[in-house]
C-alpha cells in the first residue's frame, strides 16, 4: 500500500533527514520547516524507524485539508478510512497544535477529531463501545493557517532514544543532533575523529554507529510494532537485515576525552550498551593536553559547555584558548562545534566560520560552526 510518511526533524536538519530518506530509496514529496514528507509503504515505516539517525519521529499522514469550522474538521476526519488502520480493540489518543488558525482551541480540536474517528469506526464495526485494550495509536491534528494535517505516530518514544544511554551527565546533547553533526562534517571511516569535550560520549558513539553501519533503532521498540497493518515478520526481517549490514571490519579511529572521571565512566558504559566500545578510545584528559599524533587532517567535533552547562567563565575561556592553540598548530585539521555562545567563533578561530547552521538542541537554539582545515598542497614538480 502506498503511504505518505512524514519524518519530523529539528529545525535546520531537514537537509540531513532528506538525505537519509533518499539513502533508503524513498521518493521525497515535500520539504518544509521541521519535516520532510516522502512516499513509502508498510516496510518503509519499519526501515525508517530502524535507520533514521537525525529525524525525531516517523508519522503516517492520514489526511490534509482546509478546516475553517469545527464542522469542516469533523466531516473531513470522519471521511478518512480509519478502519484500514485501527482495529476494533485499538486504543487511541489525540494530541494537537494550532497556529494562526480560526480553530484556535486545541482541546476542542482534539475532542472533535476523536469524536469523528469513533463515529467512523462505530459505523464500520457496528459496535457501540470501544474497549481500547489493543495496540496504541497516537493521532495528531496539526492546524497551520487553517490547514489541518492529520497524522499517526509510528515511532512512540522519540527516535533520539536509541536505548544505549544508561549513564548520563548534565545537559547531554541529543543523539539525533550528534548524529547530524557527524554527518555534516562528512567524516568517513579511516579518518581520525576526536571529541575533546565528550561528556557521556554521545558524539563519538554516534560516529562509531555511523562508521560501523549500525542501525540506531536496533535496541528499542516502536509504536507501530503492535499494529495489525504491519506483520511482525516484517519487523523481524528488517532487524535481521540490519544486523547483517553491520560492518565490523570498518577502520574506525575515534577518540573521546573529558576532564571529568564521571563523564568518561558514563561514556564507556554507554559505548558498551551501543556495541561500539571496542572502536572508541575514551580517556580522562584536560583539553589543553590534546595532541594530534601523526594525523595531519583529522576532525575535531565538540559540544563544549554552554547555557545551563556553563559552570565557570574561566572554564570556557580555557577550552576556547586550548582549541585556538590546537587549530593554529594543526592547520590541516577541521573543527566542528555546536554552541549558544556567539563569541565562540571569534574567540576560537579569530575568523568567520566557513559555514554556520542554526540548529536546536532540545528547545535550546544553538549554532553549528564549521571550520574546514587547509588541504595539503600536492607536489607540482615533474619527475623525469
DSSP string of 314-337, one letter each residue: HHHHHHHHHHHHHHHH-TT-EEEE
Q: Which three cell numbers stand for residue 363?
A: 528547545
Q: Look at residue 307 in the predicted model and tell me its pLDDT.
A: 60
CA distance 305 to 339: 8
pLDDT band at 81 (very low <50, low <70, confident <90, very high): very high
Q: Look at residue 380 in the predicted model and tell me its pLDDT.
A: 46
Q: What is the mean pLDDT of residues 153-180?
A: 92
Sheet holding 193-195, edge to edge: 280-284, 254-258, 193-195, 299-302, 334-339, 364-371, 355-361
Q: Look at residue 267 in the predicted model and tell me its pLDDT.
A: 97
Inter-residue contact 274 to 207 (CB < 8 Å): no
Q: Look at residue 317 in the predicted model and tell me its pLDDT.
A: 87
Does position 57 have pLDDT exceeding 70, yes or no?
A: yes
pLDDT band at 311 (very low <50, low <70, confident <90, very high): low
Q: Which three cell numbers stand for residue 163?
A: 536505548
CA distance 287 to 55: 31
Q: Look at residue 324 in the predicted model and tell me its pLDDT.
A: 94
pLDDT band at 314 (very low <50, low <70, confident <90, very high): confident
Looking at per-residue pLDDT, the higher value among 362 and 99 belongs to 99
pTM to 2 decimals? 0.93
CA distance 1 to 8: 22
Does position 222 have pLDDT exceeding 90, yes or no?
A: yes
Does position 14 have pLDDT exceeding 80, yes or no?
A: yes
Q: Which three cell numbers stand for residue 267?
A: 561514556
Inter-residue contact 371 to 354 (CB < 8 Å): yes
10 by Cβ neighbours in 10 Å (0-12 / 13-18 / 19+) ranks as buried
Q: Which CATH architecture group holds 175-212+247-371?
A: 3-Layer(aba) Sandwich (3.40)
Q: What is the mean pLDDT of residues 122-139?
A: 92
Q: Look at residue 383 in the predicted model and tell me its pLDDT.
A: 45
3.40.50.2000, 3.40.50.2020, 2.40.50.140, 3.30.2130.30: CATH of 3-153? 3.30.2130.30
pLDDT band at 381 (very low <50, low <70, confident <90, very high): very low
The ranges of the chain annotated as CATH 3.30.2130.30 are 3-153
Q: Which of 90-104, 244-258, 287-301 has the lowest mean pLDDT?
A: 287-301
Average pLDDT over the chain, rounded to an integer: 93
Does position 143 have pLDDT exceeding 70, yes or no?
A: yes
- In angstroms and rounded to an integer, the radius of gyration of the C-alpha atoms of the chain is 24
Contacts of 193 (CB under 8 A, 6+ apart): 182, 185, 187, 204, 207, 253, 254, 255, 298, 299, 301
pLDDT in tens, 316-339: 889 999 999 999 999 999 999 999
Does position 283 have pLDDT exceeding 90, yes or no?
A: yes
Q: Look at residue 170 in the predicted model and tell me its pLDDT.
A: 75
Looking at per-residue pLDDT, the higher value among 365 and 301 belongs to 301
Q: Look at residue 382 in the predicted model and tell me its pLDDT.
A: 42
Does position 309 have pLDDT exceeding 70, yes or no?
A: no
Does position 360 have pLDDT exceeding 80, yes or no?
A: yes
pLDDT in tens, 58-77: 999 999 999 999 999 999 99
Q: Look at residue 378 in the predicted model and tell me its pLDDT.
A: 54
Does position 194 have pLDDT exceeding 80, yes or no?
A: yes
The ranges of the chain annotated as CATH 3.40.50.150 are 175-212+247-371
Amino acid at each position: 500500500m502506498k503511504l505518505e510518511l512524514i519524518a519530523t526533524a529539528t529545525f535546520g536538519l531537514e537537509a540531513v533527514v532528506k538525505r537519509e530518506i533518499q539513502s533508503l530509496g524513498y521518493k521525497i514529496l515535500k520539504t518544509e520547516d521541521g519535516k520532510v514528507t516522502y512516499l513509502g509503504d508498510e516496510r518503509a515505516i519499519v526501515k525508517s524507524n530502524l535507520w533514521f539517525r537525525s529525524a525525531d519521529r516517523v508519522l503516517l499522514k492520514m489526511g490534509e485539508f482546509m478546516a475553517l469550522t469545527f464542522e469542516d474538521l469533523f466531516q473531513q476526519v470522519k471521511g478518512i478510512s480509519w478502519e484500514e488502520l485501527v482495529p476494533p480493540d485499538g486504543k487511541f489518543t489525540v494530541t494537537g497544535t494550532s497556529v494562526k488558525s480560526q480553530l484556535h482551541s486545541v482541546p476542542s480540536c482534539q475532542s472533535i477529531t476523536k469524536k469523528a474517528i469513533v463515529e467512523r469506526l462505530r459505523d464500520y464495526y457496528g459496535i457501540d463501545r470501544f474497549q481500547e485494550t489493543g495496540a496504541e495509536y497516537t493521532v495528531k491534528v496539526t492546524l497551520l493557517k487553517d490547514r489541518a494535517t492529520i497524522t499517526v505516530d509510528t515511532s512512540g518514544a522519540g527516535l533520539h532514544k536509541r536505548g544505549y544511554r544508561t549513564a548520563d551527565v548534565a545537559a547531554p546533547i541529543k543523539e539525533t543532533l550528534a548524529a547530524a553533526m557527524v554527518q555534516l562534517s562528512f567524516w568517513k571511516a579511516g579518518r581520525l575523529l576526536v571529541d575533546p569535550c565528550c561528556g557521556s560520549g554521545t558524539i563519538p558513539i554516534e560516529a562509531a554507529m555511523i562508521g560501523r553501519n549500525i542501525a540506531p533503532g536496533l535496541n528499542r521498540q516502536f509504536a507501530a510494532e503492535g499494529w495489525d497493518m504491519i506483520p511482525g515478520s516484517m519487523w523481524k526481517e528488517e532487524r535481521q537485515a540490519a544486523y547483517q549490514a553491520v560492518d565490523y571490519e570498518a577502520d574506525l579511529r575515534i577518540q573521546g576525552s573529558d576532564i571529568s572521571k564521571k563523564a568518561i565512566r558514563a561514556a564507556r558504559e554507554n559505548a558498551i550498551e551501543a556495541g561500539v566500545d571496542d572502536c572508541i578510545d575514551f580517556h580522562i584528559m584536560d583539553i589543553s593536553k590534546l595532541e594530534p599524533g601523526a594525523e595531519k587532517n583529522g576532525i575535531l567535533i565538540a559540544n563544549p559547555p554552554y547555557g545551563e552547562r556553563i559552570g565557570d567563565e574561566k572554564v570556557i575561556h580555557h577550552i576556547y584558548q586550548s582549541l585556538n592553540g590546537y587549530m593554529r598548530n594543526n592547520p590541516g585539521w577541521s573543527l566542528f562545534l555546536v554552541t549558544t555562545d556567539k563569541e565562540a567563533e571569534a574567540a576560537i578561530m579569530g575568523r568567520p566560520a566557513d559555514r554556520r547552521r542554526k540548529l536546536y538542541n532540545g528547545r535550546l537554539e544553538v549554532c553549528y560552526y564549521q571550520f574546514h582545515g587547509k588541504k595539503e598542497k600536492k607536489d607540482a614538480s615533474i619527475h623525469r
